[in-house]
C-alpha cells in the first residue's frame, strides 16, 4: 500500500463547476498536509496547507482534513481553465521534515 | 513572502563537465533545503536533504560523490552535478523549509540537458 494515494485521473470538470480532489494516507503519524499545484514543465506551487481536522478555506480553494478516516481533499470552486494542472497531495510525518507525495491527479477544466 | 529562486533556469552542457545549481530563499532563512529530480511524466524524486552547516543526507540510490550539495548559509544551497552524463538530464528542483510553518516552498527548477 502506497503511503499517500491519489487518483491519477485525468479528472475533467466543466468550467465554473466544483472540482473535487481526494487523497488518502496510511501513516497515522502524519501531522501536516499540503496541496501543491504543478503545471506541465514547472515546479510545484503551494496551494493550501492544513494541520487540523475540518475545513480550511482560501479564496476558491477549500482543504478538508479527516484524520480519523485518513483522508484529505481539495475543493476548487468556480473552476477556471487556468486551474488545469496536476495537483499533488503531500504529507509530513511527526519527526520527519520530508514530504511524502502522492502521484498526483491531473485536472482538466473544460471551457 | 516565501520566495525561492534557482539559478540557472536552464543549462546545456557537454558530457563529462560539472554543473552547479544554486537555490536561494529570498525572504526567509532556511536551515533545511531539499533537492528533487523529476523526469518527464514522472513524480518528484527526493535526492537529498541539505542542512545548513552540516553534511547533506542522501536518499538511497543517490550517489553523494556525483551530486555534491553545499549549504553554506541560511539562504543558499548548491547542487553540483559532477561529470554529468546524458542520463543526468532532468528537471532539478529545490525547496526550502520555512521552519515556523513546516512548509516547503519550491524553486522554479533547473532544466539540465547533457549532450
Tens digits of residue pLDDT in A63-89: 999 999 999 999 999 999 999 999 999
Residue of A3, A6, A38, A43 to mutate, interface with B, max B Cβ within 10 Å: A43
Percent of chain A with pLDDT over 90: 91
* Closest alpha carbon to B71 in B37, B103, B23: B23
- Quote the pLDDT of residue A1: 64
Residue A31 and residue A97 in contact, taking contact as beta carbons nearer than 8 Å:
no
Average pLDDT, chain A: 95
Tens digits of residue pLDDT in B99-109: 777 899 999 99
B residues 30-59 lying closer than 8 A (beta carbon) to A: 32, 34, 43-44, 46, 49
- Quote the pLDDT of residue B95: 97
* Closest alpha carbon to A101 in A48, A36, A46, A55: A36
* Closest alpha carbon to A101 in B38, B83, B52: B38
Residue B92 and residue B9 in contact, taking contact as beta carbons nearer than 8 Å:
no
Tens digits of residue pLDDT in B43-79: 899 999 999 888 999 999 999 999 999 998 999 999 9
Distance, CA of A88 to CA of A96 (rounded, Å): 19
Amino acid at each position: 500500500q502506497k503511503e499517500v494515494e491519489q487518483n491519477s485521473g485525468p479528472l475533467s470538470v466543466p468550467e465554473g463547476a466544483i472540482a473535487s480532489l481526494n487523497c488518502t494516507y496510511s501513516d497515522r503519524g502524519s501531522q501536516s498536509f499540503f496541496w501543491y499545484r504543478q503545471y506541465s514543465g514547472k515546479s510545484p506551487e503551494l496551494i493550501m496547507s492544513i494541520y487540523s481536522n475540518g475545513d480550511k478555506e482560501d479564496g476558491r480553494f477549500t482543504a478538508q482534513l479527516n484524520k480519523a478516516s485518513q483522508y484529505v481533499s481539495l475543493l476548487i470552486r468556480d473552476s477556471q481553465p487556468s486551474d488545469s494542472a496536476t495537483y499533488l497531495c503531500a504529507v509530513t510525518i511527526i519527526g520527519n521534515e520530508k514530504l511524502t507525495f502522492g502521484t498526483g491527479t491531473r485536472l482538466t477544466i473544460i471551457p | 513572502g516565501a520566495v525561492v529562486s534557482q539559478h540557472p533556469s536552464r543549462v546545456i552542457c557537454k558530457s563529462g563537465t560539472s554543473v552547479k545549481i544554486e537555490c536561494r530563499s529570498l525572504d526567509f532563512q532556511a536551515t533545511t533545503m531539499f533537492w528533487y529530480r523529476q523526469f518527464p511524466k514522472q513524480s518528484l524524486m527526493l535526492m537529498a536533504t541539505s542542512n545548513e552547516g552540516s553534511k547533506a543526507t542522501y536518499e538511497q540510490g543517490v550517489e553523494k560523490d556525483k551530486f555534491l550539495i553545499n549549504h553554506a548559509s541560511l539562504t543558499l544551497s548548491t547542487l553540483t552535478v559532477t561529470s554529468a552524463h546524458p542520463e543526468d538530464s532532468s528537471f532539478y528542483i529545490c525547496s526550502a523549509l520555512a521552519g515556523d510553518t513546516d512548509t516547503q516552498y519550491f524553486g522554479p527548477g533547473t532544466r539540465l540537458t547533457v549532450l
